[in-house]
Amino acid sequence: MEVEHQRPPDDDGAGESAEARGDEQPSTSAEQHNEPAENAPLEPPDDNDPDDHLMCRVCRGNDGNLYYPCLCTGSIKYVHQECLIEWLKYSKKEVCELCNHKYSFQPIYRPDMPKALPIVEILRGVITSGLQMLKTWIVYTLVMATWLGLVPLAAARIYNCIFYLSFHDIVTAPIQLIKVDHVFNDILKGSLLLTVFVCTFISLVWLREQIIVGGPQHFLNIEADNEGENGENNDDESSEDSEEDDDDEEDDEESESDGEEESDGTEEFFEEVSDGPPERVVYIDDNEFLNHREAVARGHPGALAYEERRRDQYEARHGFRPRVPDVGPPYDDMRDDENEIVENQYERQDRERAPSPRGPRRPNALDQEPPPMEPEPIVPRAAARANRRIRRQRQNAEAMEQAADGDDNWREWDRFGDELTWQRLLGLDGSLIFLEHVFWVISLNTLFTLIFAYAPYRFGNWMLGFMGLHGKITYFPSIVAMLVGYIQIAGITFMVHQAMHYFKMKMMYRFLGVMFLIIKVFLLVFLEIGFFPVMCGCWMDVCTLPLFNVTLSQRVSTFASAPFMSIFLHWMVGMVYVFYSASFVILLREILRPGVLWFMRNLNDPDFNPIQEMIDLPFTRHFRRLVVSTTLFFSTILLIFYIPLNIIAAIVPSLLPYNVSMSAETPLSELSLELLILQVVMPAILEHANGRTFIKVVVRLWCKVIGNVLALDEYLLSDSNNNNNQNNNNDPLRNNAAGGGLAAEHQALLLLREPRAYEPYSRPSLFAIRVSVLLVLMSATTTVCSVILFIVPATIGRTIILLVSNHSNVHEIYTVALGLYVCWLVGKGVAVVYKFVQGGPHLFKRAVMHYSYLGMRLFFVALPVVIVVPLLMGTYFQLVFLTPLRLGYQQSALMFPYQDWAMGVVQMKIFGVVAMMGPDWWLKSELDLLVQRGVENFAALHVLVRIVVPCVLYLSSFIAFPVVVVKTYAFVAGADAEWTMLLLRFSYPAFLLITSVVVFVRWQVVKFAELAEKIKNDRYLVGTQLVNYEKNGIRS
């Protein structure tokens, strides 16, 4: 049913006729009668009717015909058809929201409709649908071939022509673009180039906005540096814009007399004190609720912070910073916002008692209400001049656009006003406008290749040749030349930028400033995201050489044979290590006292913006941070990998090296055990291990133990909640209407960071020595934990696989995963037992009884689900696909139940996921019900009867039916054993094929019936009539 998003009808709209809304009636079923049956709607009762309480549930009126289409009773039983249709359109449902009964509508057709549709009309509808399908297929094929074939191929060929063709071969460039050699490789290469182009284009647009809004204005605007000098030497200075200055002075005089007269919508004046954030914030100061202006007048730090950010935004847009209002104390942007969010009331009282340098102290707000703020002078003359310049530039731009529109009237500019959707952009709507988009993508990609790839490459190639290093770089010469070219362009841009500052060329100064900052951010991003992870990965590879029993020379030879793959693998390993290290630091911040990790940036800080820091901070500071990060990460890699592996080689030499080769003595894939581990064991570890909680508990326990030994427990652990609660309860000044917490929350909203209070601690004697011992113990603990993680899981996994499969040389990913799974099971069991033991014997007894009963139910259901169903699925898969393909005519099939069971476990999981993602049918409904009930409300009998038994019967039938048919045929026809075995071998895929064809034909018959119903409704349907509900199944 197609429904529109409309509101339910009011009383006035209840009387609309069904004929007026005939085109909006819901779709009907083909099983309905084509003659309008005599419906029995309830007529409105007269005045003497005792049932005068009958009314529509939607409009609450009793005019017109009332129906009772669902199971609801009482005052909501009846409804108008028009009201119900409008409500269904608004709610986008087809059932009653209370009783979940589906509404039914009876179709009303024209009287001249034939009992059976003519074959001509059916063929016409089929041909129309076929042509529409063919058109859609052609459009989608053309779009896919263009975007996935032509565009990447053109990008790759243009890239090759730019970089690899000489100037003399430029004539043959068109031939190079249309040649048919290496098409697939060029498409893959072009797809990569287009991905880089799109990501770079989006990054450049976003980075430009970041620089313009939040970049260093002194680096982008000249007049911000010379503003005070121009004010002092205004009389003696002669410039080229003297005539414009005279005009500005006249405009200033006019603006003083007509200050409020603005017509173009440009913000002419900067209001020195605004009304505050869009969401009204209430400030609390000395038990008073203040608005934003009053808070600014009182010098509230949150209000001053908002005004400071507002001036920063104005300065970023207009290049001029308005002066700070002369009210309250000046805002200090260097204060510690994390530890001082709300101003101390004692300090505020001392400040108010102190004499003000501007005059006598104002009376306290509790004694006298503050006088209303007088309107201050609006803005200086320079601000008005800047605003008028912006308005003049906008007017000039509008005039130029109007002139361009007048000259180019032949263009169809109206189509650019259409809504641009993905279908229109890609061409899926059937129009050919996407060809223009394809042309623009290819053109912009060519321009991008020339500007951002070829030009830096030529600059860097020239510099390397000048330095004598052109032929000495063996690996990645193009990338090195491009990076050297970017560094050279950055240096040239910076020098020209400084020269533009000397010559006072504002536009070029701003353009070169933005260009230099973009190149700077690109180089820093490459350094921190590209080069730093590669260094971490290479250092980790060097430190783990004993783990894989390889030498450094072998690693070098591997890099020489496949440099790109080697760099990519090291980068990926380094990125994973950096990511998990950052996650561990974030977890430590939740446990440790604020200030312990002062030397590391808080990644959870809302104000932390690494791109903005790359824009603002100099390159030397970033390089210093890179050196510190490299030292820290390399030291942790030594503690986690190199030292533990040497200890293991000394105490347990048989454990090393780990087997990570893809081949073994007996391939484990023959047993399908690796699929079982990857699909069952590892997902269980990742989803239910709760490693974050375990690590937090272990780290907190370690900090308590070591902190008590070294008397550093107050320094390490954070106990802010208890301390804050006790202080708030004991401090009378902080118990005033609980306003401190609300004020802190408002401050957090304004300053965009969480309120964090400073936690004092008592510094013991010999603090430096104690901290040094703490670092030594931390390093030793890290090494011991690493040794345990290298030994225990691998040993347990190897032992279990040896006992089960009698194989010792298997991939260590399976042994480690299996060992971790066993450790998790043991730890989970110990944690559950400890939890219930702590609750007392009564709770422990109840838990044992409850989980014993639940375990028995799960066990009885798990037997067929875990053993029978996977065995049947694996056996059927073996009979259908593997046996006919692998065996010859003279060979007999050998069945391995264990292998079939392991393969069936994986197939059962895949089939369950597909069933949950597919259309609605009985298995999906039962699985949804099982998931909604959960483990605690597990119904074993229901699962056995409604899920397990039908699945077993279906699979058994599919396995047994071909055998019965072939054996019956062999008995009747008297076929020999060889022919019978051959028929039986190919009967399983044949039976599956026949079943699939039957299901497909049945599906097509249903679709054909729906098409015939649609044709009949389009030609003969007049309207629909709501059907009343009857308990005995008879509807009127």
3-state secondary structure of 735: coil
Cα–Cα dist 444/425, whole Å: 16
Query: Could you give the number of structural domains in the chain?
Result: 6
Which amino acid appears at position 30 of this protein? Answer: A
Angle (nearest 5°) at CA 249 between 243 and 254 = 130
Structural domain contains residue 39:
yes
CB neighbour class for 211 (10 Å; exposed up to 12, middle 13-18, buried from 19): buried
> Could you say which of 655, 682, 701 is where a domain stops?
655
**Strands 105-109 and 288-290, sheet pairing:** unpaired
Range of lowest pLDDT (112-116, 774-778, 889-893): 889-893
pLDDT band of 222, cuts 50, 70, 90: confident
3-state secondary structure of 417: helix
Cα–Cα dist 189/204, whole Å: 22
Which amino acid appears at position 956 of this protein? Answer: S
Cα–Cα dist 597/842, whole Å: 45
Cα–Cα dist 400/792, whole Å: 76
Judged against a pLDDT cut of 90, whether residue 632 lies above it is answered with yes
Q: What is the DSSP string of 70-123?
A: SS--GGGS-B-HHHHHHHHHHHT-SB-TTT-PBP-EEEEE-TT--SS--HHHHH
Strand partners of residue 1025 = 106
Cα–Cα dist 493/734, whole Å: 56
Cα–Cα dist 490/502, whole Å: 19
Judged against a pLDDT cut of 90, whether residue 416 lies above it is answered with no
Q: 916-971 pLDDT, tens per residue?
A: 888 888 888 898 888 888 888 888 899 999 999 999 999 999 999 999 999 999 99
Based on the fold, state whether residues 693 and 812 are members of the same structural domain. yes
Structural domain contains residue 529:
no
Cis peptide before 657 (omega within 30 of 0): yes
CB neighbour class for 180 (10 Å; exposed up to 12, middle 13-18, buried from 19): exposed
Predicted confidence at residue 250, as pLDDT, reads 45
Predicted confidence at residue 445, as pLDDT, reads 93
The stretch 226-252 carries a mean pLDDT of 45
Range of lowest pLDDT (447-456, 820-829, 949-958): 820-829
Judge whether 586 and 603 are in contact, CB under 8 Å.
Answer: yes
Which amino acid appears at position 522 of this protein? Answer: F
**Strands 283-285 and 105-109, sheet pairing:** unpaired
> Could you say which of 626, 655, 684 is where a domain stops?
655
Angle (nearest 5°) at CA 995 between 992 and 996 = 85
CB < 8 Å & 24+ apart, contacts of 755-760 = 755/341, 755/342, 756/338, 756/339, 756/341, 756/594, 757/339, 757/720, 757/724, 758/336, 758/338, 758/339, 758/340, 758/594, 758/595, 759/593, 759/594, 759/595, 759/718, 759/719, 759/720, 759/723
- Give CA 889 to chain center in angstroms: 54
Residue the block writes with tokens 């990645």: 476
pLDDT band of 260, cuts 50, 70, 90: very low
Range of lowest pLDDT (484-488, 700-704, 837-841, 935-939): 837-841
H or E, element range at 533: helix 532-543
Residue the block writes with tokens 């007894």: 845
Based on the fold, state whether residues 556 and 626 are members of the same structural domain. yes
Token reading at 387: 């605003």
Strand partners of residue 283 = 290
Predicted confidence at residue 291, as pLDDT, reads 79
Based on the fold, state whether residues 814 and 902 are members of the same structural domain. no
Q: 285-317 pLDDT, tens per residue?
A: 766 777 777 777 777 777 777 787 777 777 666
Judge whether 664 and 801 are in contact, CB under 8 Å.
Answer: no
Based on the fold, state whether residues 170 and 25 are members of the same structural domain. no
CB neighbour class for 820 (10 Å; exposed up to 12, middle 13-18, buried from 19): buried
Question: Could you write out the three-class secondary structure of 961-1029?
Answer: HHHHHHHHHHHHHCCCHHHHHHHHHHHHHHHHHHHHHHHHHHHHHHHHHHHHHHHHHHHHEEEEEECCC
3-state secondary structure of 284: strand
Based on the fold, state whether residues 499 and 581 are members of the same structural domain. no
Helices of type H across 881-933: 883-886, 897-917, 922-933
Query: Which residues make Cβ contacts (< 8 Å) with residue 217, sequence separation at least 6?
Result: 224, 315, 316, 319, 321
Q: 684-730 pLDDT, tens per residue?
A: 666 666 778 888 989 999 999 999 999 988 888 876 544 444 444 44
Judged against a pLDDT cut of 90, whether residue 540 lies above it is answered with yes
Query: Which residues make Cβ contacts (< 8 Å) with residue 619, sequence separation at least 6?
Result: 520, 524
In eight-state DSSP terms, residue 283 is E
Q: What is the mean pLDDT of the chain?
A: 76
Cα–Cα dist 439/151, whole Å: 9
Predicted confidence at residue 339, as pLDDT, reads 36
> Could you say which of 795, 823, 851 is where a domain stops?
823
Structural domain contains residue 397:
no
Predicted confidence at residue 34, as pLDDT, reads 40
Range of lowest pLDDT (643-647, 724-728, 776-780): 724-728
Judged against a pLDDT cut of 50, whether residue 675 lies above it is answered with yes
Token reading at 984: 């039986």
Structural domain contains residue 1027:
yes
Based on the fold, state whether residues 651 and 677 are members of the same structural domain. no
Based on the fold, state whether residues 635 and 767 are members of the same structural domain. no
Residue the block writes with tokens 């692998």: 886
Based on the fold, state whether residues 782 and 884 are members of the same structural domain. no
Token reading at 874: 């694996």
Structural domain contains residue 602:
yes
Range of lowest pLDDT (128-142, 317-331, 702-716, 977-991): 317-331
Structural domain contains residue 1009:
no
H or E, element range at 571: helix 563-591
Predicted confidence at residue 574, as pLDDT, reads 94
H or E, element range at 676: helix 673-676
The span from the first CA to the last CA of the chain, in angstroms, equals 23
Alpha-carbon dihedral of residues 807, 813, 814, 818, nearest 10 degrees? Answer: 120
pLDDT band of 62, cuts 50, 70, 90: confident
In eight-state DSSP terms, residue 806 is -
Query: Which residues make Cβ contacts (< 8 Å) with residue 595, sequence separation at least 6?
Result: 758, 759
Judged against a pLDDT cut of 70, whether residue 662 lies above it is answered with no
Judged against a pLDDT cut of 90, whether residue 357 lies above it is answered with no
Which amino acid appears at position 870 of this protein? Answer: P
Predicted confidence at residue 402, as pLDDT, reads 62
190 half-sphere exposure, CB direction, 13 A CA radius: 27
3-state secondary structure of 1023: strand
Based on the fold, state whether residues 680 and 793 are members of the same structural domain. yes
Based on the fold, state whether residues 770 and 625 are members of the same structural domain. no
Token reading at 805: 């499969």
Residue the block writes with tokens 């005519």: 889
In 3D, which of 789, 809, 787 has the Cα closest to residue 798? Answer: 809
State the CB neighbour count (10 A cutoff) for residue 10.
Answer: 11
List C-alpha distances in Å: 748 to 305, 339, 743, 902. Answer: 11, 12, 9, 55
Alpha-carbon dihedral of residues 125, 131, 134, 140, nearest 10 degrees? Answer: -100
Cα–Cα dist 111/1021, whole Å: 10
Q: 138-153 pLDDT, tens per residue?
A: 999 999 999 999 999 9
Token reading at 822: 């066993």
**Which range of residues forms the domain containing residue 488?**
432-504
Token reading at 372: 């209303």
Q: Over pLDDT 90: what percentage of the chain?
A: 29
Based on the fold, state whether residues 672 and 814 are members of the same structural domain. yes
Alpha-carbon dihedral of residues 855, 860, 866, 867, nearest 10 degrees? Answer: 140
In eight-state DSSP terms, residue 236 is T
Predicted confidence at residue 522, as pLDDT, reads 93
6 half-sphere exposure, CB direction, 13 A CA radius: 15
Which amino acid appears at position 629 of this protein? Answer: S
Based on the fold, state whether residues 705 and 584 are members of the same structural domain. no
Judge whether 1029 and 32 are in contact, CB under 8 Å.
Answer: no
Structural domain contains residue 168:
yes
Structural domain contains residue 367:
no
Judged against a pLDDT cut of 90, whether residue 773 lies above it is answered with yes
